[in-house]
């Protein structure tokens, strides 16, 4: 699709008019900045348009800024259908289980690691994450945790004996970009962060050093 196919409603709302495709019942709208819109998968945009063809759909086929390709309908899409012309689709989106095991080590911004599941009970802890747009490691705060059962879990063991468990759909960073775990083959390369950190230990409930100690050290050094 071309940028010219979109009608700019506001700085954060873009519309694909009903006239774009003959089978569309309503326009398709995407909530996103111009930068985010440029990064949206083309297949995801096509799925937003496909939803606009549903029987009985009301007003618009909507998509939020986090949209990505689903198994039918776009994930991150919203649509309403009326009664009785509308329809109910219990499996339109399918499932999206890009999950890691709760025991997965997560590197904290302070240099220690802890299991991912323990972060759920901690408030606003900063962890190390990769910003692929900037190609650098940055600190980030998790904002949501989801737990669900899954029919299958795969385990990767690297040549350096690192292990990680994840669902088959979970993507890993490779020289070819992000690749789902189930599509990786023996001897494929995946990115790892060389610094593992140290195991987290709960701090002791005592003062390690106070103002008096600091003043004593400064006095011995001849610093007033």
Q: Concatenated DSSP letters for 45-87?
A: HHHHHHHTTSTTB-S-EEEEEEEE--SSSPEEEE--B-TTT--
116 in the same domain as 62 = no
**Cα gap 145→89, rounded to integer Å:** 26
pLDDT of 85: 77
> Do residue 74 and residue 8 come from a single domain?
yes
> What was the pLDDT predicted at 89?
67
**Please, which residues bridge with residue 131 across strands?**
136
Asked whether residue 177 is assigned to any structural domain, the reply reads yes
Same domain for 124 and 189?
A: yes
Does 22 reside within a domain? yes
Does residue 49 contact residue 20 with C-beta atoms inside 8 Å? yes
In a domain, residue 215? The reply is: no
Q: What is the pLDDT along the chain (224 residues), one digit of tens a residue?
A: 787 899 999 999 999 999 999 999 999 999 999 999 988 989 899 999 999 999 899 999 999 998 888 767 888 899 998 977 777 665 565 555 568 888 999 999 999 999 999 988 887 889 999 887 788 899 988 876 777 777 889 999 999 999 999 988 888 999 998 899 999 999 999 999 889 899 998 888 888 899 999 999 999 999 87
- Do 65 and 115 reside in the same domain of the chain? no
Q: What are the CA-CA distances from residue 211 to residues 84, 216, 220 (Å)? A: 74, 9, 14
Domain that holds residue 27: 3-78
Residue 53 lies in a domain: yes
Could you tell me if 62 and 124 lie in one domain?
no
Q: Quick one: CA torsion of 105, 109, 112, 114, rounded to 10 degrees? A: -30
Instruction: Give the Cβ contact number of residue 44 at 10 Å.
Output: 18
pLDDT at res. 23: 94
Cα torsion through 177, 31, 42, 151, rounded to 10? 60
The total number of structural domains in the chain stands at 2
Is 96 within any annotated ligand binding site?
Answer: yes
pTM more than 0.85: no
Cβ atoms 151, 134 nearer than 8 A: no
Per-residue confidence (pLDDT) for residue 70, from 0 to 100:
75
110 with 189, same domain: the answer is yes
- Assess if residue 210 is contained within a domain: no
Is the residue at 42 inside a domain?
yes
């Amino acid at each position: 699709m071309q940028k010219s196919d979109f009608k700019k409603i506001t700085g954060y709302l873009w519309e694909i008019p009903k006239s774009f495709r003959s089978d569309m019942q309503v326009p398709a709208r995407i909530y996103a900045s111009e930068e985010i819109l440029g990064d949206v998968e083309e297949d995801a945009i096509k799925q937003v348009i496909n939803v606009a063809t549903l029987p009985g759909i009301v007003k618009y086929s909507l998509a939020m800024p986090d949209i990505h390709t689903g198994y039918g309908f776009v994930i991150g899409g919203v649509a309403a259908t009326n009664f009785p012309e509308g329809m109910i689709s219990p499996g339109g989106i399918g499932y999206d289980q890009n999950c890691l095991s709760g025991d997965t080590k997560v590197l904290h911004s302070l240099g220690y690691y802890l299991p991912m599941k323990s972060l759920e009970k901690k408030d606003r802890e900063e962890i190390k994450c990769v910003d692929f747009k900037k190609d650098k490691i940055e600190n980030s705060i998790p904002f949501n945790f989801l737990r669900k059962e899954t029919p299958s879990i795969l385990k990767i063991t690297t040549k350096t004996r690192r292990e990680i468990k994840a669902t088959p759909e979970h993507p890993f960073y490779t020289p070819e970009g992000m690749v789902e775990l189930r599509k990786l083959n023996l001897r494929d390369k995946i990115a790892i962060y060389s610094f593992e950190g140290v195991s987290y230990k709960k701090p002791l409930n005592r003062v390690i050093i106070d103002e008096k100690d600091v003043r004593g050290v400064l006095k011995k050094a001849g610093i007033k």
